[in-house]
Amino acid sequence: MEALLVAVAFLLYFAVRGAVIDRPEVAYRHAVDIIDAQRRLGFFWEDNIQRWSEHKLVLVQAFNLIYFYLHFPLIIVFGIALYCTNRRKYTLMRDAFLASGALALLVYWLYPVAPPRELPALAARFDANAPSYITSFIDTMQVHLGYAYDTQSTRAFVNPYAAMPSLHFGWDLLLGIGLCWWAWGTRFKWIVVPIGIALPISQIFAITITGNHFFLDAMAGAAISLCGFPIAIAMGRYVYPWLSRRIMNLPWPLVRNFFLPNRELKPDVATKLP
């Protein structure tokens, strides 16, 4: 079942990616709109942050590694650990991640946004008179880490115009909340809770220093990701009980046993299950 959920999520992602990658000019114009909005609001700092950090190689490399490794690898490890230790919390966190991911996919399709690192190349194609604060961004991961999102080996797995919302920040926020929730009340909380707090804080710097997102992308990512919690709670309270009743009424025992294996056990055995 978990593999099926992941497979469906990836199919949805590739469907949305295919609809977005052929709209580079739209993604560029939307990125410029975000820059203009941040300038009006007084917090367009991304270009200054990159200029300030570009000669601090150790700092830049640290945030390159944070962006690349302290996201999906940690989410996978946390998911496995939570699945093995607390199935109830695992289900809620899994549904929060999947629900927020589905919401983000909808936004990616409706409102593609180019990341800052893509703006110089796109400006050369579509906006020859673009100001320097648009054309001065660099891809620090490609320059300093030797990793590029548009390489042949990774192109199929990356949506180049999915800057808004930033699930890199939003999902690290969910991950931090999940770590604090899992560790609270245990003897490990003094170690795990500070890590859970530090993860989204470090990621907000990583996504901007590396040129992958704007601050508004991070705000949208936080809002979208937190929306996953009420959806996950509603799934547990209403959708799963309703779905279980429908599955139990199916006339095929193999199907019932696949989706609800414990319901097919004898009563005296089922009562002993955790």
Summarised one tens digit per residue, pLDDT across range 129-140 is 999 999 999 999
Q: Model-level pTM? A: 0.87
Range of the domain at 139: 2-226
Residues 116, 109 contacting (CB under 8 angstroms): no
User: What pLDDT, on a 0 to 100 scale, did the predictor assign at position 96?
Assistant: 95
Percent of residues, the chain, with pLDDT higher than 70: 89
Residue 267 in domain: no
Please say if the pLDDT value at position 245 is more than 70: yes
β strands within the chain, DSSP E: none
User: What pLDDT, on a 0 to 100 scale, did the predictor assign at position 90?
Assistant: 93
* 141 bridge partner residues: none
User: What pLDDT, on a 0 to 100 scale, did the predictor assign at position 218?
Assistant: 97
pLDDT averaged over the chain? 87
User: What pLDDT, on a 0 to 100 scale, did the predictor assign at position 169?
Assistant: 97
Residue 253 in domain: no
pLDDT in tens, 214-224: 999 999 999 99
Q: How confident is the model at residue 7 (pLDDT cuts 50, 70, 90)?
A: confident
User: What is the chain's alpha carbon radius of gyration, rounded to the nearest angstrom?
Assistant: 21
User: What pLDDT, on a 0 to 100 scale, did the predictor assign at position 166?
Assistant: 95
| Average pLDDT of span 87-92 | 92
User: What pLDDT, on a 0 to 100 scale, did the predictor assign at position 148?
Assistant: 62
Residue 197 in domain: yes
CA 262, CA 255: separation in Å to the nearest integer? Answer: 13
Q: Is 186 exposed, middle or buried, given 0-12, 13-18 or 19+ CB atoms closer than 10 A?
A: exposed
Residue 193 in domain: yes
- The DSSP secondary-structure symbol of 5 reads H
| Average pLDDT of span 93-102 | 93
Between 6 and 86, name the one with better pLDDT.
86
User: What pLDDT, on a 0 to 100 scale, did the predictor assign at position 143?
Assistant: 87
CA 169, CA 5: separation in Å to the nearest integer? Answer: 22
Residue 258 in domain: no
Residue 237 in domain: no
pLDDT in tens, 49-85: 999 998 899 999 999 999 988 888 899 899 999 999 9
Percent of residues, the chain, with pLDDT higher than 90: 62
Residue 137 in domain: yes
Phi, psi of 113 (to 5 degrees): -135, 130
Q: How many domains does the chain have?
A: 1
Of the ranges 121-125, 207-211, 234-238, 260-264, which one carries the lowest mean pLDDT score?
260-264
User: What pLDDT, on a 0 to 100 scale, did the predictor assign at position 17?
Assistant: 66
pLDDT in tens, 174-193: 999 999 999 998 898 999 99
| Number of helices followed by number of strands (H, E) in the chain | 16, 0
β strands within 68-111, DSSP E: none
CA torsion sign for 132, 41, 20, 220 is positive
| Average pLDDT of span 111-122 | 96
Q: Is 58 exposed, middle or buried, given 0-12, 13-18 or 19+ CB atoms closer than 10 A?
A: exposed
User: What pLDDT, on a 0 to 100 scale, did the predictor assign at position 246?
Assistant: 85
Question: Token digits for 214?
Answer: 């704007």
Please say if the pLDDT value at position 127 is more than 70: yes
Residue 201 in domain: yes
